[in-house]
Structure 1
């Protein structure tokens, strides 16, 4: 299964009776025609063009107010390089590219502004709580949309079933998601390793020393991305393991290192990252693995029987 240059995103509709939360500006912009062109540059462009494309995708709103000199200084490239980049993505020059981004963002931000205006009328604290709840529901909905087609999920399950060893890796908050995923998968996977678990980077690196072709690494990382996760994922790629990324955006540095990308948006008005969608992604993957063959269902039943005497049974 190959990594696509863009995610299969569909922005939720906006109803008058009940306002839904829009996806993050970054993710919504990446799903536009211009965003997809920039993602293609990130996948196949030169080093300087990849840097420019990533900066545009990460900062679409800010870029619309920046002159060519501002952007050149921020990225560390020349004005001429930016002009060539603009022409490469279909514009006459940087001013036209900036205007194209502004026009694209008008459509992207319209539902966001509608949501924000409703919060402005409420108590600020309650508004932040409401916005967090709305964002979480939107993130969960988009995971459901992503998994509903079934093709990506079924291909991934087939790969996991065929893997020599499955490694699951997450640092910081992502370590908790990795733990849940490992706990859920272990009855159905003969060789499964939680890379971080109770250790740090050194322990994780040691557990990956035998990783190679035929193995799968499921790497989990969200803002603020742990450098250790990125370095060890690059190591896994160099060892020809298949890398599955569970991350927040197609522009995530983890996504750029992966063969298969599962997107779980994590934006939150207060927290640095929300893990709710990532937990749903992990639970969906465990469910799909459990139901992938009859033996797994039998294993689950055997596990229930084995531990039943230790559980409260009213």
Structure 2
């Protein structure tokens, strides 16, 4: 009796990366397939976002050739090739894929406006519902007891860090946002002088920046308290923090929504003001100091300005 061919379904899955498969198969590729292979290796993230027509056109080959290239790598077709190529880039690619799907739907500008505002409303409500009484109380006390407060956050979180510094500076002797023009190297130098009694507040949301996580880990080693503001307790930042405040930040057409994060920042500032012993006198002094620069509506009407 002859031997039967092995059932393909019974074969172990090919766990090699697409880059490894391409390297192993390169010698057997045609000239057109080599162009596809070289381009995929040079621009994996870009190719993972391309349709098969875009990929074929970019490399100057036919769609059929692109399909054959994908199958030569041990996948059924181009869609599976893109999935395999995107492994490790899932979070970075997710907003792009959502945008690609949305653009294929017939929606007016006002539909997108309304959907975006609804997402913000939903994120804020989810954030409110998930508040932890213990974590909120610990966060407020950490701010009030800190000798110095350092805030780290880069990218869009850098703007949020500045707003957090503005709010807390009224109630803390020293608050510094390290998301300044000096960038990560400046932040690293400042954090090198941390000491017990200091508080580091780190902000990071998908897509999480490596620099923020690295600096947050350095803060932990210095024995300073680390307060994370992130999207979940098991995020790369939340999992290493002493205290964690979470804000839902999901967004259909963008990687993140900052609305709920800003709301959480303002909530922390309000809670600190509420429990600060000097909040009333601070507010009075602030009002007095800015009075000369305030414009009164009635006066503007009379002067015509």
Q: TM-score, normalised by structure 1?
A: 0.59
Is residue 142 from structure 1 mapped to residue 142 from structure 2 by the alignment?
Answer: no
- CA shift in 2, pair 1:305/1:230, >3 Å: same
Q: 1:49-104, CA deviations, whole angstroms, 9 ceiling, x for partnerless residues?
A: xxxxxxxxxxxxxxxxxx99669768xxxxxxxxxxxxxxxxxxxxxxxxxxxxxx
1:111 maps to what in 2?
none
Matches within 5 A, 1:117-266: 123-125=106-108, 127-147=111-131, 150-266=133-249
Q: Is it true that 1:290 corresponds to 2:276 in the alignment?
A: no
Q: 1:129 to 1:166 in 2, by over 3 A?
A: same
Q: Are the counterparts in 1 of residues 148 and 174 from structure 2 also a CA contact under 8 Å? A: yes
Gaps of 5+ in 1: 1-66, 75-118
Runs of 5+ unmatched residues, structure 2: 1-9, 18-101, 298-305
Aligned-partner Cα distance in 2 for 1:271–1:168: 24
Check conservation: 1:212, 1:236, Cα contact below 8 A.
no
Tell me if structure 1 keeps the 8 A contact 2:153–2:202. yes
Distance of 2:157 and 2:11 partners within structure 1? 37
Structure of greater Rg: 2
In structure 2, the CA distance between the partners of 1:165 and 1:272, relative to structure 1 (3 Å rule), is same
Q: For 1:69 and 1:292, how far apart are their aligned partners in 2?
A: 61
Contact 1:220 1:247 in 2 (8 A): yes
Distance of 2:106 and 2:294 partners within structure 1? 45
C-alpha distance in 2, partners of 1:275/1:291?
Answer: 24
8 Å CA contact 2:135–2:244 kept in 1: the answer is no
Partners of 1:218 and 1:134 in 2: CA distance: 29
Report the RMSD for the aligned CA atoms in angstroms: 2.6
TM-score by length of 2: 0.60
The number of equivalent residue pairs is 202
